Amino acid sequence: ETVMTQSPVTLSVSPGEGATLSCRASQSVSSNLAWYQQKHGQAPRLLIYGASTRATGIPARFSGSGSGTEFTLTISSLQSEDFAVYYCQQYYYWPQTFGGGTKVEIK
């Protein structure tokens, strides 16, 4: 099974600041990587697929990059609604696997 490791576990950021979240795969997944946002008590929401393509309706302040084993989600200027948990997911190998998540909290 492909292990996805996210860092940091928790990221404290002030509103308006930027945030950089990392995701590492235990083996190359090419660009088959998605990012999801999950707010408390809600289902995950797709942000990014194909490592860098924003899903429909996702603001431009969210951007994804990387390929192979190293990926990054960047939020350029955090809004109040962006404080949540973010998960990466690889969909190149069976079974599809998720990272443990990064919680972005208000500093």
Partner 1 sequence: QVQLQESGPGLVKPSQTLSLTCTVSGVSISNGGYYWSWIRQPAGRGLEWIGRVDADGGTHQNPSLQSRVTLSVDTSKNQFSLILSSVTAADTAVYYCARAYNYDFTWFDLWGQGSLVTVST
In the complex, the smallest distance separating the C-beta of residue 81 from partner 1, rounded to whole angstroms, is 18
Nearer to partner 1, 13 or 92 (CB): 92
Nearer to partner 1, 16 or 94 (CB): 94
Of the candidate residues 9, 14, 40, 94, the single one contacting partner 1 (CB under 8 A)? 94
- Looking at residues 10 to 49 of the shown chain, list those that interact with partner 1 (rule: CB under 8 A): 32, 34, 36, 42-46, 49
Q: Within 10 Å of residue 3's Cβ, how many Cβ atoms?
A: 12
Is residue 70 within a helix (H) or strand (E), and if so which, with residue range?
A: strand 70-75
Asked if 46 and 55 touch (Cβ cutoff 8 Å), the reply is yes
Asked if 51 and 69 touch (Cβ cutoff 8 Å), the reply is no
Residue 69 binds partner 1 (CB under 8 A): no
